[in-house]
Structure 1
Amino acid sequence: MAFTAGRLNTRGTGLALLALLPVGFLAVFFAWPVVAIVGRGFSAGGVGTAVADPETWRLAWFTVATAAGSTLIAVLAGIPVAFLLARVRLPGVGLVRTLVLVPFVLPTVVVGLAFRALWPDGGIFPLILANAFFNVAVVARTVSGLWSHLDPRAAEAARALGASPWRAFRSVTLPALAPAIASAAAVVFLFCATSFGVVLILGGSRFRTLETEIYLRTVDLLDLSGAAALSLVQFAAVLGALAVGALARRRRENAVRLRSHHETARRPKGGEWWVASAGYAVLALLMTPIVALLLESVSTEDGWSFAGYRALAGHGTRGALQVSGWDAAMISLRTATDATLLAMVVGVLASVVLVALRRTPGRLARGMGETMDVALMLPLGVSAVTVGFGYLVTLDALPGDLRTSPLLVPLAQALVIIPLVVRMVLPVLRSVDVRLRQAASTLGAGPARVWREIDLPLTARSLVAAAGFGYVVALGEFGATSFLARPDTPTLPVAVATLISRPGALNNQMAYAACAMLMIVTVVAVALIDRFGSVRGHSSVGEF
């Protein structure tokens, strides 16, 4: 008993030390800046006035309504694609699995300009469609992950008893998929409600959400109390979405454990061809803005031309940029590398801690794990502007004054990547057979050696996929970067936003050419991620 208690105490100490880095990182580089900004808003005495202002709730209603519309479209479009990925065996389905993920990791400025090429005047409808375009992959990959594990015999039994295909789906399959659909919908709503670049490009000054209004009040009006009030409203909505997502994710994991995996992919039969066709149609629609952007990048008033690509070697019309387009691209590559390395260290350690807490008996450990899991997702739902401005008013208190450090932008980008790394690595770590780890421990291996010999080989593909995925997301991050990057060190998405805001046809062509380059890099990276990051035939990418 004394030996067992000693091992438990040692394990608890080691777990606390492991948790120190991810928890400390979140505390210093997320909680502290956000609390500082909100605190300044309260100290200004205007939060109550801003909360009582009808304009605040009009913005909140518009944000919720557009996010709900985008979520609904993403769910309706994602379910046929999920069926295609989970149940259909046809040539080209593997390519569908890769291509459907491309929109999710495209930089927001790329998507904004792609939809602007289709709808030059912008408006609410393209704004809603653009946010849905981003998130079809979340629904498709999350729902297909559960759908591929469902035993098809229950639906077949319903059909044998006389139920139509639609009734069998509605009464048997859909209730089983409900946890995955709810989990995906909660995450999609979270992403849509905090969308920044797309709203800025397509909505302009006519259509503002909480996110863009926080930016306006912080940067242009210096209205910290109003920005703080809007941040609090946004934060409350985020917590609600995260709570729904966590509950649905737990139900989904329980559902998967109750069913053994069956090889259910086959050629469609009867009415299933209509569903499969709908999945292919959704994919074709997802590719339409991408093709439009590529065409726009080589289209000029005088015909087809690569002038925009050649002009990236310069600074644009009337010195629109302080650096060349290629220099901005190199800055993006370096910044994304730093952000990915940082996010991988923090995210992997956080995943290890979450798995250990889940395997530790007792309600306290489980509660701590669930709380930490939700906390790790919070950076996705808090305004990037709030975090960025918080950096500027707090980080001077740290040694070295990070406000002037080249690490400032990577730190902000890492906050966005860490939740995605955790969502990709955590399910794979949880799937490692605990008996293998126990056997290694019994033979005298310490925790570090168990991780090196057991966990690392089994999770290597997932780690590579997470690193690649995080790198692509960092490469296109725009929200926090647009606020923190200096004019002489812009990333490529910030340079694109600068070019598109300046007059001149050449600036416009340069912006579209830069977006096309970002998109091509994204497509190649996603293809590699999906190939090397797949586990048992299903990639962990998009398993939220």
Structure 2
Amino acid sequence: MNLTTRNTTTDPIVRPAIGRWAAGAVVLWVTVFLVLPITVIITGSVAMDDVTRVLTQQSTWRLVWFSTWQAVLSVLVTFVISGPVTWLIGRHQFRGRRVLRAISTVGFLLPSVVVATAFLAVLPRSLHYTVFAVIVAHAYFNIAVVVRVVGARLELLEPQLAGVARTLGASPIVVMRTITWPLVRSAVSSAASVMFLYCFTSFAVVRVLGGPRRSTLESDIALRAFGIGDVGGATVLALVQLAYICVVVGIIRLLMRSDIAYVRAAPPVLPALPHQCRSIASVIASVTVVFVVTPLVALLWRSLHVRDRMSLEAWRSLFDTTLAESLRASARTALVAGVLGTLLCCIATLAVVHLRRGGRAIDALTLLTLAMSPVTVGLGLIITFDSGWFDWRDRWWFVAIAHTLVAFPLAVRVLVPAWRTTPVGLHHAAAVLGANGWRRLVDVDLRRMRPALVAALGLIIAVSLGEFGAASMLSRDGAETMPVAISRLLSRTGDVVRAQAFAMASLLVVVCTAALIVVESAMKRGDHAAGR
């Protein structure tokens, strides 16, 4: 007998007609701007000679090896740095806990090119363009993944399990090995998979901090495609990278999977921090805050320090020179990407919510863009839309389309849970009053969805402002975005030029932080409206 019951209070009314229309629009968009470009570069730009040439070159496997070991080492260093603060936040209640968690996630919310620029500002020159700088920057970027993923699982653990084990004589090590680790193992594997994906495909961090002598597969794809014109070789490397990521992430999940799921549906009341642990907790919190804040402070300091003296010259140049074009280009691109991406997210959410099997397929389809690196997406768009009336390579809004592809899967994850909280009773009441399906969609769903829509809009704008991979492929002179301009400035010599890069990166920190504060505030309002 099936004892599963359906929550008729909050489960949305399924309207297949609206769902099918929305699914068709999403499939069309993804097909035209993602599937078609990838198909074109595979079928039209790759010959067997390219495959043989690339796969038999020793440099290819050196790239794979470097990309692998720096990603693995970055993941391990991230766990070492973030482990203490994750345990502190996930297992104890104390004053300032939410503030510490917010600070620890700052790095992940910043554009990768800004993080790389910040470490150029804080590290001594002897450590510039070294593997150490790359790995530390990756760890800075990924602390938030461990805190949010593993910390969230730690919060759900039942405290009485460890207490009972200790009562029976188990040592702390035995409790960790037999109780805690099996329960958090799947969360650790999820965090490791995400971090490996980001570090293996790292582009901006390696390009800025690694120097010309170090390249990952991702940065070599860009070099082959636009540096030496080897599009076939770049495409082969992109396929090698995609296959390698799928295999490695699959192995990680297989080795670390756990069938144990004894966790609470809602977080229990966390125990207060023991008095004897407060000094250690203070050290952990202080080290974490210093590690996160110091690069950002150094970034601002270096933007104000020109020719060994304090000066606003770099900041004035942002608005008085051609750099102002980058500010306008980024703002324009982010706004267009935000509006277009939010509309696309609404359509995709309609399909996911109002179709059953088809909804799961659309949900999986939206994740397809996450599997493709932004550099590969940009390469495919340039090769596909390069002739006739759809030669859009020199159009500024073409960058916004690429940013929409990169960002909208993340925003869909914001809208779908919010949409599903709409009480069915509101739809029934509107139907009784004579509202048709489209009217209920506007007056019931979209009205309740306003906080989530604002959050999705802010998230897409923040991603667009900081996106570097696709923008580095598609931006043109006079319309380059801020991350591309920062990278260009850092590749030149001179105190004023580098100060300009630091000033623009500082401005990007402020703008992205403001956008993400809007996202967080909107999501909190949405949770309050939904009664969560």
TM-score (norm 1): 0.84
Cα distance, 1:237–1:108 mapped onto 2, change above 3 Å: same
Correspondence for 2:198: 191
User: How far does the alpha carbon of each residue in 1:420-461 deviate from its partner, in whole angstroms, 9 at most, with x for none?
Assistant: 21233334445x377657866985865545555665566543
Task: Verify: 1:282 aligned to 2:293, yes or no.
Answer: no
Matches within 5 A, 1:413-432: 413-429=403-419, 432=421
Counterpart amino acid of 2:163?
A: E
**Secondary structure at the residue paired with 1:402?**
coil
Partner in structure 1 of residue 9 of structure 2: none
Q: 2:110 aligns with which of 103, 106, 110?
A: 106
* 8 A contact 1:47–1:228 mirrored in 2: no
Q: Deviations over 1:468-510 (max 9, x none)?
A: 1221121111111111111111212222222222233211111
Could you tell me whether the CA contact under 8 Å between 1:44 and 1:225 is conserved in 2?
A: no
Any idea what the Cα deviations from partners look like across 1:324-381, whole Å, max 9, x if unmatched? x233212211111111222222233323433445xx3xxxx2xx65554444233234
Corresponding position of 1:541? none
The equivalent position to 2:503 in structure 1, one of 513, 520, 528, is 513
**Sequence identity percentage:** 34
Amino acid at match of 1:337: L
Q: Give the match's secondary structure for 1:29.
A: helix
Asked whether the 8 Å contact 1:80–1:276 carries over to 2, the reply is no
Distance 1:284 1:159 in 2: 35
Shift of 1:62: 1.1
Partner of 1:490: 480
Q: Which has the higher mean CA deviation after the structures are superposed, 456-465 or 403-412? A: 456-465
Counterpart code for 1:268: L
Tell me if 1:140 matches 2:147.
yes
Find 1:264's aligned residue among 266, 269, 292. 269
Closer, same or farther in 2 for the Cα pair 1:172/1:279, shift >3 Å?
Answer: farther
CA 1:179–1:451: 2 relative to 1, 3 Å: farther
Paired amino acid for 1:152: P
Structure 2 residue 133 is matched with structure 1 residue 126: yes
Shifted more, 285-294 versus 159-168: the winner is 159-168
Which residue does the alignment assign to 1:154?
161
Does residue 220 (structure 1) correspond to residue 210 (structure 2)? The answer is no
Return the alpha-carbon distance in structure 1 between the equivalents of residues 446 and 178 of structure 2.
Answer: 42
User: Would you say 1:305 and 2:297 are equivalent positions?
Assistant: no
* Secondary structure in structure 2 of the residue aligned to 1:260: coil
The residue type equivalent to 1:419 in the other structure is P
Q: How many angstroms does 1:44 deviate by?
A: 6.4
- Change in Cα spacing, 1:150 to 1:188, as seen in structure 2 (3 Å) is same
Where has structure 1 moved over 6 Å in runs of 4 or more?
244-252, 535-538
Partners in 1 of 2:513 and 2:131 — Cα distance?
28
Q: 1:245, CA displacement in angstroms?
A: 9.1
Change (3 A) 1:405 1:326: closer
Report whether the alignment pairs 1:344 with 2:358: no
Q: Measure, in 1, the Cα distance between the counterparts of 2:423 and 2:153.
A: 22
Q: Is the 8 A contact 2:394 2:476 kept in 1?
A: no
- Contact 2:183–2:258 (CA<8 Å) still a contact in 1? no
Stretches of structure 1 lacking an aligned partner (at least 5 in a row): 1-9, 316-322, 539-544
Aligned to 2:99: 95
CA separation in 1, counterparts of 2:230 and 2:91?
Answer: 53
Of stretches 328-337 and 305-314 in structure 1, the one that deviates more from structure 2 is 305-314
CA deviations over 1:277-330 (Å, ceiling 9, x no partner): 435523321222212212211123332222211222333xxxxxxx2x233212
- Paired position in structure 2 for 1:115: 119
**Runs of 5+ consecutive residues of structure 2 not aligned to the other structure:** 1-13
Larger CA deviation: 194-203 vs 416-425: 416-425
Could you tell me whether the CA contact under 8 Å between 2:106 and 2:292 is conserved in 1?
no
The answer (yes or no) to whether the contact 2:19–2:353 under 8 Å persists in 1 is no
2-structure distance, mates of 1:347, 1:162: 53
- The amino acid that maps onto 1:472 is A
Say which SS state the counterpart of residue 162 (structure 1) adopts. Answer: coil
2:329 aligns with 331
AA matched with 2:188: I
Q: Against the structure 1 CA distance between its residues 266 and 341, is the aligned structure 2 distance closer, same or farther, given a 3 Å change threshold? A: farther
CA distance in 2, matches of 1:516, 1:389: 29
* Amino acid corresponding to residue 270 of structure 2 in structure 1: A
Q: Secondary structure at the match of 1:148?
A: helix
Aligned residues: 510
Q: Are 2:509 and 1:502 equivalent residues in the alignment?
A: no
C-alpha distance in structure 1 between counterparts of 2:460 and 2:257, whole Å: 24
Aligned-CA RMSD value:
3.3
Shift of the 491–463 alpha-carbon distance from structure 1 to 2, 3 Å rule, reads same
- What CA distance in whole angstroms lies between the structure 2 residues aligned with 1:240 and 1:370? 23
**Cα pair distance change 1:227/1:119, threshold 3 Å:** farther
- Closer/same/farther in 2, CA of residues 119 and 375 from structure 1, 3 Å limit: farther
Alignment of structure 1 residues 2-401 onto 2, 5 Å: 11-43=15-47, 45-117=49-121, 118-120=123-125, 121-240=128-247, 255=261, 259-269=264-274, 273=278, 274=280, 277-315=283-321, 323=322, 325-357=323-355, 360=356, 365=357, 372-396=362-386, 400-401=390-391
Gap change, CA 1:221 and 1:520, over 3 Å in 2 = same
Contact 1:218 1:227 in 2 (8 A): yes
Q: Is the 8 A contact 2:92 2:272 kept in 1?
A: yes
Is the 8 Å Cα contact of residues 50 and 229 (structure 1) preserved in structure 2?
yes
AA in 2 matched with 1:178: R
Change in Cα spacing, 1:147 to 1:493, as seen in structure 2 (3 Å) is: same
Superposed displacement of residue 57, structure 1: 1.6
Report the TM-score when normalising by structure 2: 0.85
- Equivalent-residue separation in structure 2 for 1:178 and 1:511 (angstroms): 41
1:411 is aligned, of 378, 401, 405, to 401
Amino acid at match of 2:342: M
Mapped to 2, the partners of 1:369 and 1:181 lie a distance apart of 29
